[in-house]
Every structure is written in structure tokens, then in C-alpha cells.
Amino acid sequence: MTTATNKVEIRRGLMGVYFDRSDSCFIDGTVGKLLYRGYDIHELAENSTFEEVVHLLLFGKLPNRKELDAFDKQLRADRDIPDKVLDIMDTVKNGHPMDVLRTAVSALSAFDPEVKDNSEAAIIRKGLRLTAKAPTIVAAHDRLRKGLKPVKPNASLNHAGNFLYMLNGKMPSEDEMHIMDVDFILHAEHGSNASAFAARVAASTQTDLHSAVVAGIATLKGPAHGGAAEEVMKMAEEIGRPENAESYARNILDHGGRVMGFGHRVYKAEDPRARHLRDRSHTLGISKGQPQWFEILAKLQEVMKPYQAKGIYVNVDFFAGSIYYLMGIPDDIFISIFALGRIPGWTLNVAEQYRSNILIRPLTDYSGPMDVPYTPISKRN
Ligand code: SDX
């Protein structure tokens, strides 16, 4: 919405505003197209791995076999977190998983020898260390709050498999490892979304990567951004059966509410990431003997079809929650999984900001009184 006053044009929410150039991520919201460094998300989701995609995002190219092996070896070597950080996490273990992740990333800055180095190479190295350690943080926290010992990272497993292994304390199935890997790919980067923009605003003041990632985590936590997957699953549980979906959605819409997992600031066509989670929600539900969740979500998507005329389609979060639920992941960790995927994207945004940095400082159009005379307290009634 823009309102032209007699002085300025205001673009609330910075809607439609281009604030910089970027070669990291292309989104055409009118047709639902998404490219990471020029590669189509459908190709990456179906043929690549999270490790390859992180390399593509941070180094600008898909790695060859030798490069991938060295890169993957480094990521696996960087998964451990200091005991002192685990102690801090134990102190705050009753907090929300995103608050504990945010706290642990802050604490890690005290243990990273390059924390003050804002060169691009150091930013990338620190971002990779955080990418490697974040699953350990999320999994260890869940174990601590359950009174269990954290499970040490398993270097024989890839990034996605190791996360599930540390979380559940048992080897994940090949199928679950692959689904989680695709999920991380789909969440890895998305241009100047709110959390990436928050990280860029932080970086524009020349602060360090850890501080910028903390800003990203804090911003992602909101249900309008990253918290929707958890809300979608709560909605599916409240709906209970596919035949209830229509009246449930109607009730929300008639009261001017938002049906979670639908709508997007940029996509006015289907979010291209959604289909890759839709198929997997369907197959996983059947294999787990719980087909009802996909059936409820599919019915809800059908009920919302008329809203496509207004550019309201499913987004990446709509099917994600049912997948995490079927994997037995606690619902307050759903959003943390989004953050685990997005750390490389935040790192790339910070590196891009630093490449030709300028302080990000927009204006507000003042609408208050002018030059009000000061009244000493003795004269105020
Ligand atoms: C992500 O930006 C990114 O790239 C984010 C993301 C990423 O990868 O980083 O893609 C991830 O954040 C996905 C979005 C997850 N959030 C949700 O699913 C929450 C539900 N969605 C909405 O809150 C909403 O769609 C937003 C916040 C996502 C986008 O909202 P906008 O762009 O600010 O649009 P709006 O709220 O002003 O809505 C415009 C119109 C309104 O109708 P009118 O008042 O004009 O008649 O669309 C309607 C809204 O009522 N609308 C919805 C709706 N979303 C928008 N109506 C019903 N249900 C919805 N979900």
C-alpha cells in the first residue's frame, strides 16, 4: 500500500521496494519461479544435496566431486559445540528452541577465533561453522530439556541424517534422511525475506556474522515468517477430518483471519517449493500409517482454491509441518528446522552486504506536532 502525502511516498512493509542488487537468488512471484545462483529449485530439490547447495550458495558454483568431499569433510568436522555452550543451553533449557538456538549462537561468538574478522572469506568460514553446529544445538537442547544426555554428532552421516540421529538417538531411515535433506535445500535461501533483511541491516552497521545470524533467528521466529509450519499442523489437528476443512477455513476467513501456510509477499502463484514437500507429506503419511494429515491438508488446499484469484496459494510451510510431525519431531522444533536450512542463506546475504556495504537506514515521514514549547514540571498539571 502506498500513501502519497504532500511530501513523500510511503511504501509500508517496503512492499515492492528494491533496496540492492543480488546474484544469489532469483524469484519471479508471478509464475512461482525460484533460482539459487541461477539453478532452478526443482532441479536442486530433485537432484542435489544440502551440502552441494550450501557450496553453490556460498561459493557460487556446484562443487566437483573432489571439492564436495573436502567441503563435506570440513562440515562434519565442525559439528561439535563447546561444553560451556552446552552448559548455557542447560541453564536456559526451558526456553523455546528458537530462543535457545539464538542464545547458543550468541554464546558461540565467544569461542570463534575469527569473530571480529568481517572479510568475505572469514564470513563464509564462520557461516559454515554455524551451519555445521546449529543441528547439534537444536538436537542437544531437545535432549537436555527431556533430561537426556546430548547425542554426539555422527560423522558417518550426512548433515540431514546426523540431525535426525542426534535428535532421536537412533539411526534415521534412508527415506527420512532424504526427506530432511530436501527440506533443508528448500529452506536454504530466499532473497531478501524478512530474516535475511534483518541480517543485512545488522551487517550494514559493520557488525559481525554471529550478531547478524542472531538477528535472522529472532526475525524468523514470527508466525508471519517462519513459524507457520507449527501453526499449520495445529490447524490440521483441530480440523481432525478432511470433511471439517471447509467450515474451519470459512470460520477463519469470515473473521478476516489468515489461514496459515497460505499467502506470500512475493509469490502470487504457487510457491515452487511447496510441491516437493506435498509429495513427501503424502508418501510419508502412507508409510507411517497416518494418511489423514495429508488428506486434511489436501482438502484445505482445495477449499482455498478460490483465493488463488487473489494470488493466495500454499507456501513452503504448508506441508512442512506434517512431514516433521510424521517424523515424530516436537512441534516447537519445526521452526528451528527452517532456521537450520536458512543459515547459509543468511550468511550469503551478509557476505553480499559486506561486498559493497552501505548503512541501511530508511526514513519515516514524521506526522507529529512541531516545535512544542517546553513546560517545566512545576507548571504541568
Ligand atoms: C515464509 O518472504 C519470504 O521469502 C518468506 C519465506 C522464506 O522462504 O523466507 O518464503 C517463508 O515466510 C512463508 C510465509 C509463511 N507465513 C504464513 O504462512 C502465515 C500466513 N500468511 C500470511 O500471514 C501472509 O500471506 C504473509 C504474511 C505471508 C504475506 O502477507 P502480505 O504480503 O503482507 O499480504 P497481506 O497480509 O497484506 O494480505 C494481502 C491480502 C489480504 O486481503 P485484503 O485485506 O487485501 O482483502 O491477502 C489476504 C489478506 O487478507 N491474505 C490471506 C492470507 N494471506 C494473505 N487471506 C487468508 N489467508 C492467508 N494466509
Q: Identify the burial level of 116 via C-beta atoms within 10 angstroms of its C-beta, where 0-12 means exposed, 13-18 middle and 19 or more buried.
A: exposed
317 is catalytic: yes
Q: How many A from CA of 266 to the centre of ligand 1? A: 9
- The whole-model pTM stands at 0.96
> 212 alpha carbon to ligand 1 midpoint, in Å?
25
Residue nearest to atom 24 of ligand 1 (CA): 263
pLDDT at 32 over 50: yes
> Cell triple for residue 244?
471439517
Residue 305 is classified by DSSP as: G
Is the CB of residue 280 less than 8 Å from the CB of residue 182?
yes
pLDDT digit string, tens, across residues 46-56: 999 999 999 99
Measured distance CA(268)–CA(60) in Å, rounded: 28
Q: What is the pLDDT of residues 104-152, one digit of tens each?
A: 999 999 999 999 999 999 999 999 999 999 999 999 999 999 999 999 9
Pocket of ligand 1 (CB under 6 A): 13, 190, 193, 224-225, 228, 253, 258-266, 310, 312, 315-317
- Tell me what pLDDT residue 6 has: 62
Q: At what angle do helices 174-187 and 274-287 cross, to 10 degrees?
A: 160
Any idea what the Cα angle at residue 65 is, between residues 63 and 71, rounded to 5°? 60
- The CATH H-level (homologous superfamily) assignment of domain 228-326 is Cytochrome P450-Terp, domain 2 (1.10.230.10)
**Could you tell me which residues come within 8 angstroms of residue 29 by beta carbon, excluding any fewer than 6 positions away?**
264, 266, 267, 268, 269
Q: Ligand 1 test: best mutation among 219, 262, 308, most atoms within 8 Å of CB?
A: 262
Region of residue 206 (left: phi > 0; alpha: psi -120 to 50; beta: else): left
Distance 263 CA to ligand 1 centre (A): 4
**pLDDT over 90 percentage in the chain:** 97
- Label residue 1 by pLDDT band (50, 70, 90): very low
The pLDDT of residue 288 is above 50: yes
pLDDT tens for 185-197 read 999 999 999 999 9
Which CA distances in Å does 321 have to 42, 70, 185, 331, 377? 20, 33, 16, 8, 56
Domain boundaries, the chain: 25-225+331-355, 228-326
- Does the annotation mark 254 as catalytic? no
Q: Which residue is catalytic, options 55, 159, 264, 282? A: 264
Highest CATH level, class, for 25-225+331-355: mainly alpha
**Strand-pair partners of 39:** 36
Percent of the chain with pLDDT strictly greater than 70: 98
- Reply yes or no on whether the pLDDT at 2 is more than 60: no
Which residue minimizes the CA distance to atom 15 of ligand 1?
Answer: 225
Decide if 225 is catalytic.
yes
Query: What separation in Å is there between the alpha carbon of 282 and the centre of ligand 1?
Result: 24
Q: DSSP letter at 27?
A: E
Cell numbers standing for residue 367: 506526522
Residue whose CA is at the smallest distance from ligand 1 atom 54: 263
Q: Which one-letter DSSP state was computed for residue 5?
A: -
Q: Which of 264, 266, 303, 314 to mutate to test the pocket of ligand 1 (most atoms within 8 A of CB)?
A: 264
The mean pLDDT of 328-341, rounded to a whole number, is: 97
| pLDDT tens-digit readout, 230-256 | 999 999 999 999 999 999 999 999 999
pLDDT computed for residue 227 by the predictor = 86
pLDDT at 15 over 90: yes
> In the predicted model, what is the mean pLDDT of residues 286-306?
96
Q: What is the mean pLDDT of the chain?
A: 96
User: Could you read off the pLDDT of 272-285 as tens digits, one per residue?
Assistant: 999 999 999 999 99
For residues 338-356, one letter each, b for 16 or more C-beta atoms within 10 angstroms of the residue's C-beta and e for the rest, the string is bbbbbbbbbbbbbbbbbee
**Which helix (H) or strand (E) segment is 237 a member of?**
helix 228-239
pLDDT at 5: 53
Q: Residue 33 belongs to what H/E stretch? A: strand 33-36
Distance, CA of 243 to CA of 296 (rounded, Å): 8
User: pLDDT (tens digit, 9 = 90+) per residue, 65-111?
Assistant: 999 999 999 999 999 999 999 999 999 999 999 999 999 999 999 99
Q: Which residue has the cell 558454483?
A: 61
Task: Give the confidence band of 223 by pLDDT, cuts at 50, 70, 90.
Answer: confident
Report residue 36's pLDDT band, with 50, 70 and 90 as the boundaries: very high
